[in-house]
Amino acid sequence: MKDRYSFVAPYYDFLVKLVFGNDLKDLKTWFITNLNKKKILIIGGGDGMDYREFQSDLKGEYWELSEAMLSKAQKNLAQSKLTFHLGDFKSNPDNQFDEIWLHFVLDTFPDLELGLFLSELRKSMKPSSTIYLTDFFNPQSPFHRVIHATMLAYFRMLTKHQRTDVPDYEIAFQKAGFQKLDEIRKRKGWIRAQLWESAAN
């Protein structure tokens, strides 16, 4: 499988901080609590740089499609208790997690695949488990719309990103049987962190 992120991996953290400062890191860590008591599933974690400060409390699994990003994550999180996996995550009812982190990964899914993926994740969740989502939503200002369009064009060119818009996360999660517990917004709601749990809880 060709690593479509190998070109951007060496510069990814620098570019993110250049454009967004600490906003993305803040949202990816806003809802983190009681890590030492949780088994975490991280899907599409990138280079893992934003998790280094609390890596000693991290245990669970780390899945990444990019070999270059995964290699960086293994180095950045060498003191964690995570196991690292290259490829698409496959759910297993016998391997369940307390929390699933989906940080800046769902915006790569077409709508149909997004719904199927969220439904599949339920098989790996305990009844009390939560999904911690952080991602871009529809930009509300002209300036943000320009940046967002530029980012989409960049990733479509370099990584064959499939989308030209932002998924409707609210509808996708609700259709998959989840309800929102909490939310924090930055940049006028363009970037958000949300906690979701099974609607049956």
pLDDT tens digit sequence for 38-91: 999 999 998 999 999 999 999 999 999 889 899 999 999 999 999 999 999 988
Token pair, residue 16, equals: 């993110």
Residue 2 lies in a domain: no
Residue 101 lies in a domain: yes
How many domains does one find in the chain? 1
Strands 59-64 and 125-136: unpaired
DSSP code, position 78 = T
72 CB-side CA count, 13 A: 21
Helix (H) or strand (E) holding 34: none
Residue 4 lies in a domain: no
Alpha-carbon gap, residue 196 to 50, rounded angstroms: 21
Per-residue pLDDT tens digits for 96-105: 999 999 999 9
Residue 1 lies in a domain: no
Residue 97 lies in a domain: yes
Residue 166 lies in a domain: yes
Residues spanned by the domain of 175: 9-198
For the whole model, what pTM was predicted?
0.89
Residue 116 lies in a domain: yes
Residue 16: give its domain's CATH number: 3.40.50.150
